[in-house]
Homo-oligomer: A and B are copies of this chain.
């Protein structure tokens, strides 16, 4: 299913590293496999955190819904990702499948005891938590300080770096426009318009509604500050509230 089945992985990219972690966990703890279909619920916000869930294939979304019906998708969890880590007694987000997905389920207490006994498991869990935190830094920044177009561009690059089909360089958007919108904190219309604007600017090209090719990666990342390979050109505007000087180091 992945390049790193047994032997040396050819080029250990991020997905491979995460996937190996999950395999390690499975080897040590003997989780139980499980298949689920789109929109099936995996964890409910507020419910007792009885299970930790690993994703081997497919995609999950973690989300919250406000009393008035707004949905916020905290994160998407793909292959190698874990849901339900930490010591909190309940799930802090609901989680459901975006697409058909394969899971490995671990009872939460086996993780707890496993961490006491095995330094391998300790490392895996800490690394996974650290990764999740890094991802949060990125998404929080994206939603917190970028304009709508920039959010979409930034997300697109994330999708592209994670999910590029090996042969063609084609990125796959595995979720609906509504999912993207609820993750990025904008409306579906805004997502749609941003994407089509990018296409008109020849930054990307849509193969179909869910598959795209990045034509001009550099220019696209100018929109996507923070995932930058390069410094931005000049089209970005200047914030007033940033402080110019930073003081003595600790």
* A residues neighboring B (CB under 8 Å): 34, 36, 39-44, 64-72, 74, 86-88, 92-94, 96, 115-116, 119, 122-123, 126-127, 129-130, 132-134, 136-137, 139-141, 143-145, 178, 181-185, 187-188, 225-226, 228, 231-232, 236-243, 246-250
Interchain CB contact under 8 A, A182 and B241: yes
Nearest residue (CB) in B for A89 is B130
| A242 touching B96 in the complex, CB below 8 Å, given contacts A140-B136, A143-B144, A249-B44 | no
CB-CB nearest in chain B for A184: B144
Question: This chain: how many copies in the complex?
Answer: 2
Other-chain contact of A86, B122, B126, B185 (Cβ < 8 Å): B126
Q: What are 24 A-B contacts defined by CB distance under 8 Å?
A: A34-B250, A41-B248, A64-B137, A65-B242, A67-B232, A68-B238, A70-B145, A70-B225, A70-B239, A70-B242, A72-B140, A72-B144, A86-B129, A115-B122, A116-B119, A122-B122, A129-B133, A132-B133, A133-B133, A136-B136, A136-B140, A139-B140, A144-B184, A144-B185
Which of B96, B115, B122, B185 touches A246 (beta carbons < 8 Å)? Answer: B96
Taking a contact as CB atoms under 8 Å apart, the answer to whether A68 and B232 are in contact is yes
A139 to chain B minimum Cβ distance, whole angstroms, is 6
Name the residue on B nearest A66 (C-beta): B225
Check if B126 sits within 8 Å of A181, measured CB to CB: no
Known interface pairs A67-B231, A139-B140, A232-B67; A130-B242 also in contact (CB < 8 Å): no
A100 to chain B minimum Cβ distance, whole angstroms, is: 13
Residue of chain B at shortest CB distance from A105: B250
Among A40, A226, A239, A249: residue with most chain B CB under 10 A: A239
Closest Cβ–Cβ distance, residue A71 to chain B (whole Å) = 4
* Bound Cα distance A36, B6 (Å): 50
Contacts of A145 in B (CB 8 A): 66, 70-72, 182, 185
Chain B residues with CB under 8 Å of A70's CB are 145, 225, 239, 241-242
How many whole Å from A169's CB to the nearest CB in chain B?
26
Q: Chain B residues with Cβ under 8 A from A183's Cβ?
A: 144
